[in-house]
Chains A and B, each alone.
Chain A
Amino acid sequence: MNDYEAMVNAYKNTGGEDIFSNNDVAHLVLERDKIVGAHEVEGLKVDAKKIDNNKVDVNITVKSGYKIEKPVHMCFGVLPKEGKQIIDLNIVIEDEGEVEVVADCIFPNAVRVEHIMDGNIYVGRNGSYTYNEKHYHGDSGGVKVVSKAKIIQDEGSYMQSVFTLLKGRVGEIDFDYQAELNARATLEMLARISGYADDKVKIREAGYLQGEGARGLLDSKIALRDKARADIYNEMTAEAAEAKGHVDCTEIIKDEATARAIPIVDVRHSEAKITHEAAIGSVDTSQLETLMARGLTEEEATDVIIQGLLNG
């Protein structure tokens, strides 16, 4: 089996559909620093090259005015037990361009694996970028993910970023995304993570609403068990008229897990508004008892509640 087949198989094992053989679907498949598959469609340019040991430079451009019909699939992974993958990711959505990217990050056998992503994202005037990053880690907890991105959104643009890790151990995640929004731009940044054992989750999400009428949502939902730990820093700044934002952090903890939520809400204009909510606690008793009264064990009921929270 070659590297491409091995990556596609690993992707399918996570429940992914067979999209890589579809000519209408643009894709990029990286195993460590090897570019094992790439496909472009009209209006979308995908350029990847190895620039150093373990390091790949990826440039994706959606040309002005193009709406890419089908989601672009990026599959990044490290298949051996040990390895390192560093990706410099540069994404440019030119004016009026529109694309949805699904990034599957797969580390099924990880014992000592590092995945480092350094992203620069520009969404042009009235452009739209939806980025759905899904992580599939093995059960050993041997993955360290460091994911950073600087995002600039031009006037009237839309960006949604969803980060999910619901299966396997987290290991260690250090996630740092920050976005600057110009007038009437909209940002939705969501994180859904389930951690257990001694997993460590650190998330910093920041939205700077700099232009008039900019809108921002930072929404983290984290479930932790055993001795897992999470530190969530959500930061939203509004400095123009009619800028509006909301920061929301919900964390369910069980066993000896610990969680901290540190929201920073900074409003610098009298006509701007930001709201925030944070809730950290154990599984809701009334939910638990309702499900147990339907015959679920406490453990099964907890799973349903946590999965629901993370799906929400």
Chain B
Amino acid sequence: MSNILTIENLDLVLGKEKILDNISLNIKTGEVYAIIGPNGCGKSSLAYTIMGLKRYKPAAGDIYYKGEKITNLSIDKRARKGITLAWQEPARFEGVSTREFLSLGLKSRGLEVIDSKLEQALNEVAIIPGKYLNRNIDEKLSGGERKRIELASILLMDPKLVILDEPDSGVDVVALNNISDVIQDLKDNDTAILMITHSEEMLKLADKAALLCQGRMLKKGDPASISSYFRYECIPCKDEDYKVHQGVAAGE
């Protein structure tokens, strides 16, 4: 399988703080790649940088999508190439119905909006279409409901690379199964997924994983060993400990 996403020596600086430090990563077509790490280690910042959010311009390094450099492309241009992002805390949209929101994914692909397609996408994330299509995506929907509707909108985009920022947070156990199914379906459809997660359940879906610590890629490998290392061997580290820690991770 060829690399769909390649990140080379990426640095991100916000204010005076270095958030991402020399990150390199390859994700192949149809691969689920999990990023784990402690709170504040830069996982979401990595997601936002790949998606091209305005405030997340790399200070150094490059991002390639299907071999094409996209480091300086805007979010919408990256999205139209097939990259998208599901936020950890999906936005609320006052006055925008679920139908309208879902339609955007189809419209961006130049496709006709057909209710049956919207209903199918909602069913895949265990949302009852008849109950939700005309409801607005506002504060009356829970975070979990908005999260599933956002996933449905992503399915309708038919993306080639999806960045999922903690897809399991704020959803109930039943919905979690549906989200797992959606990830599996995407994977079966050769969509690559970069997934930020703390969940063992979600990690089981991953083909590879990486541990991020203080903005640096500490360890890469199979998900089980990375998770085990993070849970049982990783210690809260200060910057001066990093080199020692890195040595431990590398088995020195």
Task: Please state if A286 and B91 are interface contacts (CB–CB under 8 Å).
Answer: yes
The binding surface of chain B is classed by DSSP as mixed
What CA separation (Å) do A176 and B53 show in the bound complex? 43
Task: Please state if A312 and B136 are interface contacts (CB–CB under 8 Å).
Answer: yes
> With contacts A289-B53, A290-B87, A312-B136 known, is A295 near B95, CB below 8 A?
no
Task: Please state if B87 and A296 are interface contacts (CB–CB under 8 Å).
Answer: no
Shortest distance between the CB of B176 and any CB in chain A (Å) = 22
**B window 59-111: CB within 8 A of A:** 74-76, 79-80, 84-85, 87, 89-96, 100, 104-105, 108-109
B95 / chain A contacts, CB cutoff of 8 Å? 307-312
Total residue contacts A-B, CB cutoff 8 A: 72
What CA separation (Å) do A292 and B73 show in the bound complex? 12
B144-182 contact mask (Cβ, 8 Å, vs A): 1 or 0: 000000100100010000000000000000000000000
A307 / chain B contacts, CB cutoff of 8 Å? 95-96
Task: Please state if B91 and A284 are interface contacts (CB–CB under 8 Å).
Answer: yes
Task: Please state if B75 and A312 are interface contacts (CB–CB under 8 Å).
Answer: no
Shortest distance between the CB of A187 and any CB in chain B (Å) = 22
B209 located at the interface, meaning its Cβ lies under 8 Å from any Cβ of chain A in the complex: no
Shortest distance between the CB of A246 and any CB in chain B (Å) = 15
What CA separation (Å) do A289 and B136 show in the bound complex? 18
| Contact partner, B80, options A295, A308, A311, Cβ 8 Å | A295
Shortest distance between the CB of B107 and any CB in chain A (Å) = 8
A41 located at the interface, meaning its Cβ lies under 8 Å from any Cβ of chain B in the complex: no
B51 located at the interface, meaning its Cβ lies under 8 Å from any Cβ of chain A in the complex: yes
What CA separation (Å) do A312 and B140 show in the bound complex? 13
Interface size class of A (residues with CB under 8 A): 20 to 34
Listed stretches A118-126, A142-150, A297-305; interface member: A297-305
Task: Please state if B87 and A304 are interface contacts (CB–CB under 8 Å).
Answer: no
Task: Please state if A293 and B94 are interface contacts (CB–CB under 8 Å).
Answer: no
Shortest distance between the CB of B154 and any CB in chain A (Å) = 8
B150 / chain A contacts, CB cutoff of 8 Å? 290
Task: Please state if A290 and B90 are interface contacts (CB–CB under 8 Å).
Answer: yes
A269-292 contact mask (Cβ, 8 Å, vs B): 1 or 0: 000000000000000101101111
Task: Please state if B94 and A308 are interface contacts (CB–CB under 8 Å).
Answer: yes
B94-131 contact mask (Cβ, 8 Å, vs A): 1 or 0: 11100010001100110000000000000000000000
Given contacts A289-B75, A295-B109, A308-B96, 8 further A-B contacts (CB under 8 A): A286-B89, A287-B93, A289-B51, A295-B104, A295-B105, A296-B108, A308-B93, A312-B95
Show the binding face of A for B, using Cβ within 8 Å. 284, 286-287, 289-298, 301, 304-305, 307-312
**Which are the 5 A-B pairs with shortest beta-carbon distances?**
A295-B108, A312-B95, A308-B95, A311-B95, A308-B96
